[in-house]
């Protein structure tokens, strides 16, 4: 079943934290398209108001400029909310290695604040963004829930702790929590700017500007690149999932595996560019290979991703050609 066919009761209200970010703004858009109310909570530290300006005239949409590190902001945002889709966090493995205390404050304390606010305000479901980085140095492919290694960065540790709190909040308080371990999400509105930008939008922007991108390492690292539509589906299906599936973590990906160097040359071909990349140092804390087993999410969440890498990258290229 496509997520567009998922229905919620009339008057259902969603809160999307980090709603002005890449994933958050796409979730806001999908919920509004269904005719439901959505509140976006964002402090605009990594999100961009441009991502949500297109909703500003929609009477079902509310924007709150607030911070998840502030419990009062979280409590106010959860008033009258049925479902929380918690995306607010600071991303980037290398940046977390430079700023561990900040990541602890935002990604752990902020998430705990949101869970506590959701509990106090009797929210039905708390669906939150985790990450494939929790698998750490576990070498086996595909990555499978329950078979994790030692984390390799403060960012990964924050997501691991969030998952522990999610499981506890379900066991102790009955808050229906769902951790979604995203695998390298890409698509429209993903920011190509900055030193820590995700690789696909960064490559696209540089190639469109006839610049040679820098590939960290040898380019032979592989990732389960996951188009944004699959992530929207996972969030909405988690909201409809049975209580037996709460308190757990789920891989959210397409279940494929793409090598970075192949993606680069594929983008060159699609954009009709003949630019050789430059190669830089491998990044500390990076996992070399990533590929998801999504059978648990299929079974427990009815997650059935329809967007392959090939289908998604075509849409992404078209979007960036129009919007960069």
Strand partners, 65: 42
Write the pLDDT tens digit of every residue in 268-316. Answer: 999 999 999 999 888 887 778 899 999 999 999 999 999 999 999 999 9
Active site residue 250: no
What's the rounded mean pLDDT across residues 202-226? 93
Q: Mean pLDDT across the chain, nearest whole number? A: 95
| Position 194 pLDDT exceeds 90 | no
What's the rounded mean pLDDT across residues 115-135? 98
| Position 118 pLDDT exceeds 80 | yes
For residue 222, give Cα distances in angstroms to 135, 181, 272, 292, 308: 15, 17, 24, 11, 15
What's the rounded mean pLDDT across residues 236-243? 97
For residue 56, give Cα distances in angstroms to 48, 50, 73: 13, 10, 20
Residue 148 near residue 136 (C-beta atoms within 8 A): yes
| Residues whose CB falls within 8 Å of the CB of residue 269, separated by 6 or more in sequence, listed in order | none
Q: Which of 128, 155, 264, 320 is catalytic?
A: 155
pLDDT band at 81 (very low <50, low <70, confident <90, very high): very high
Domains belonging to the chain, first-starting first, are 12-183+228-253 (3.40.50.720)
> DSSP E strands: which ranges in the chain?
13-17, 37-42, 61-65, 83-86, 125-131, 176-182, 185-186, 214-216, 222-223, 226-227, 248-252, 258-259, 278-280
| Position 1 pLDDT exceeds 70 | no
CA-CA distance, 265 to 271, in Å (whole number)? Answer: 10
DSSP letter for each residue of 56-79: TT-TTEEEEE--TTSHHHHHHHTT
What's the rounded mean pLDDT across residues 94-106? 97
The model carries a pTM of: 0.96
**The pLDDT value given to residue 281:** 85
| Position 97 pLDDT exceeds 90 | yes
**Best CA proximity match to 42, nearest among 61, 60, 24:** 24
Write the pLDDT tens digit of every residue in 22-47. Answer: 999 999 999 999 999 999 999 999 99
């Amino acid at each position: 079943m496509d997520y567009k066919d998922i229905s919620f009761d009339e008057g259902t209200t969603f809160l999307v934290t980090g709603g002005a970010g890449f994933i958050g703004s796409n979730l806001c858009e999908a919920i509004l398209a269904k005719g439901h109310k959505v509140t976006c909570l964002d402090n605009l530290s990594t999100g961009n108001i441009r991502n949500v300006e297109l909703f500003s005239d929609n009477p079902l949409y509310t924007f709150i400029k607030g911070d998840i590190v502030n419990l009062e902001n979280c409590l106010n945002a959860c008033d009258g909310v049925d479902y929380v889709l918690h995306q607010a966090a600071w991303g980037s493995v290398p940046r977390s290695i430079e700023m561990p205390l900040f990541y602890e404050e935002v990604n752990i304390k902020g998430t705990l604040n949101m869970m506590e606010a959701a509990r106090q305000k009797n929210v039905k479901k708390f669906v939150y963004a985790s990450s494939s980085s929790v698998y750490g140095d576990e070498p086996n492919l595909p990555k499978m829930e329950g078979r994790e290694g030692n984390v390799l960065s403060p960012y990964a540790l924050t997501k691991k702790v969030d998952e522990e709190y999610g499981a506890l909040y379900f066991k102790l308080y009955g808050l229906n929590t769902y951790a979604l371990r995203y695998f390298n999400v890409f698509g429209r509105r993903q920011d190509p700017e900055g030193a820590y930008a995700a690789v696909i939008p960064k490559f696209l922007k540089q190639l469109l500007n006839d610049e040679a991108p820098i590939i960290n390492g040898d380019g032979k690292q592989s990732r389960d690149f996951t188009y944004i539509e699959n992530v929207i589906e996972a969030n909405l299906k988690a909201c409809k999932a049975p209580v037996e599936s709460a308190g757990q973590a789920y891989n959210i990906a397409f279940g494929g595996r793409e090598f970075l160097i192949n993606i680069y040359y594929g983008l060159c071909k699609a954009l009709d560019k003949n630019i050789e990349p430059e190669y830089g140092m491998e990044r500390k804390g990076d996992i070399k290979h990533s590929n998801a087993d999504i059978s648990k999410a299929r079974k427990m969440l009815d997650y059935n991703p329809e967007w392959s890498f090939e289908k998604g990258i075509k849409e992404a290229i078209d979007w960036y050609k129009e919007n960069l």
